[in-house]
Structure 1
Amino acid sequence: MTTPQEPIFSTFTAATTATEVMAGVDLAGHLAVVTGGYSGLGLVTAKSLARAGAQVIVPARDPDRARKALAGEEGISVHPMDLIDPDSIQAFAAQFVRRGQPLSLLINCAGVMASPLARDLDGHESQFAINHLGHFRLVCGLWPALVAAGTARVVSVSSRGHQIAGVDFDDIDFISRPYDKWAAYGQSKTANALFAMGLDQRGSSLGVRAFSLHPGQILTDLGRHLTSAEINAFDVFDESGQQKIAPELGLKNLDQGAATGLWCATSSALEGKGGVYCEDCDIAPINNLEIGRKGVARWAANPEFAEQLWLISEAWTGVSL
Structure 2
Amino acid sequence: MTKALLPELKKANGAKVVQITSRAHWFSPFHFGDPNFIDTPYDKWVAYGQSKTAVSLLSVALDELYKKDNIRSFAVHPGSIVTNLSHNLTDEELSEMGAINKNGERGYDSYNNEHKTIKEGAATIVWCAVSQQLAGYGGVYCENGDIAPIATDDTDRIGVKPWAIDKEAALTLWEETPLLFK
Scaled by the length of structure 1, the TM-score of the pair is: 0.53
CA positional deviation for 1:290: 7.5
Deviations 1:161-207 (A, max 9, x none): 00110011110110001000000000010001110110001111111
How many residue pairs match? The answer is 181
Q: SS at the partner of 2:99? A: coil
Q: 1:305 aligns with which of 166, 169, 173?
A: 169
Look up the match of 1:250: 114
Partner of 1:200: 63
The Cα shift of 1:291 comes to 6.3
Preserved CA contact (<8 Å) 2:82 2:106:
no
The alignment yields a C-alpha RMSD, in angstroms, of 2.1
Amino acid at match of 1:179: Y
Higher relative contact order (CA 8 A, sep 6+): 2
Q: 5+ residue gaps in structure 2?
A: none
**How does 1:41-60 map onto structure 2 within 5 Å?**
none
**Displacement, 1:258?**
1.2
TM-superposed CA distance for 1:159, in Å, is 0.7
Query: Secondary structure of 2:119's partner?
Result: helix
Q: Deviations over 1:1-38 (max 9, x none)?
A: xxxxxxxxxxxxxxxxxxxxxxxxxxxxxxxxxxxxxx
SS in 2 for 1:170: coil
Q: Map 1:222-237 onto structure 2 (within 5 A).
A: 222-237=85-100
CA contact (8 A) 1:162 1:189 kept: yes
Question: Structure 1 residue 156 and structure 2 residue 9: aligned?
Answer: no
Q: Decide which moves more: 241-250 or 263-272.
A: 241-250
The residue that corresponds to 1:49 in the other structure is none
Offset of 1:287 from its aligned partner? 0.3
AA matched with 2:163: W
Please, which of 197, 218, 229 is the counterpart of residue 81 of structure 2?
A: 218
Distance 2:59 2:40 in 1: 27
Secondary structure of residue in 1 paired with 2:18: strand
Deviations 1:199-222 (A, max 9, x none): 001111111100001111110132
Q: Which residue matches 2:4?
A: 141
**Residues 257, 180 of structure 1: CA spacing in aligned structure 2 closer, same or farther, 3 A cutoff?**
same
Q: Percent identity?
A: 40
Q: State the partner residue of 1:186.
A: 49
In 2, Cα distance between equivalents of 1:290 and 1:243: 22
Residues 228 and 291 of structure 1: CA distance in aligned 2, closer, same or farther (over 3 Å): closer
TM-score (norm 2): 0.90
The counterpart of 2:152, out of the listed 288, 292, 308, is 288
Q: Pick from 117, 128, 137: which aligns with 1:264?
A: 128
Give ranges in structure 1 of 5+ residues lacking alignment.
1-137
Q: Which has the larger radius of gyration?
A: 1
The aligned amino acid for 2:146 is D
For 1:229 and 1:246, the matched residues in 2 are separated by 14
Deviation at residue 292 of structure 1 after TM alignment: 1.8
Q: Which of 97, 114, 138 matches 1:274?
A: 138
